[in-house]
Amino acid sequence: EKQRVSIARTILKGPPILMLDEATSALDTMTEKEIQTALRKVSEDRTTLVIAHRLSTIIDADEIIVLEAGHIVERGRHRQLLAEKGVYATMWNRQREAEQARQKLVANLDDRELAATKVLASDISGLPQP
């Protein structure tokens, strides 16, 4: 919530240059997408510098600059950097794999919770009613 308020205050000031340093890092994926949509609109007609480790936040950037040990090692647009199969592509693939693993884990937990609920419900249904 604090992060959202900070972003909103900055936007309301209407600066010609907007600098976002890990603006959505503490947000869940769904909230991040909502904030990113809003930031895209706000970033129109102004220079926006985004510092990000979560690469999904910068895929629409006009230019992505990849730093390693303080030096520029790659620069370009998302698709171009993926095609080059360098540092950016490696980071992108690792993040996608991690997100897919997380989603699979959540889905498995949801399935187990559902199964446990059904077992509990069937156990309870056999009990005498008061």
- Give the CATH number, domain containing residue 98: 3.40.50.300
Whether 113 is covered by a domain: the verdict is yes
Domain span at residue 20 reads 2-125
Amino acid residing at 34: E
With pLDDT > 70 as the criterion, what percentage of the chain qualifies? Answer: 78
How many domains does the chain fold into? 1
35 and 11 in contact (C-beta within 8 Å)?
A: no
Element holding 67 (H helix, E strand):
strand 64-68
Q: Which pLDDT value is given to residue 26?
A: 64
- The per-residue pLDDT for range 55-89, each reduced to its tens digit, is 988 998 999 999 999 999 999 999 999 999 999 99
Whether 130 is covered by a domain: the verdict is no
Whether 16 is covered by a domain: the verdict is yes
Whether 41 is covered by a domain: the verdict is yes
Whether 12 is covered by a domain: the verdict is yes
Q: In whole angstroms, what is the distance from residue 35 CA to residue 40 CA?
A: 9
Whether 119 is covered by a domain: the verdict is yes
Whether 99 is covered by a domain: the verdict is yes
- pLDDT-derived band at 120 (thresholds 50, 70, 90) equals low
Whether 112 is covered by a domain: the verdict is yes
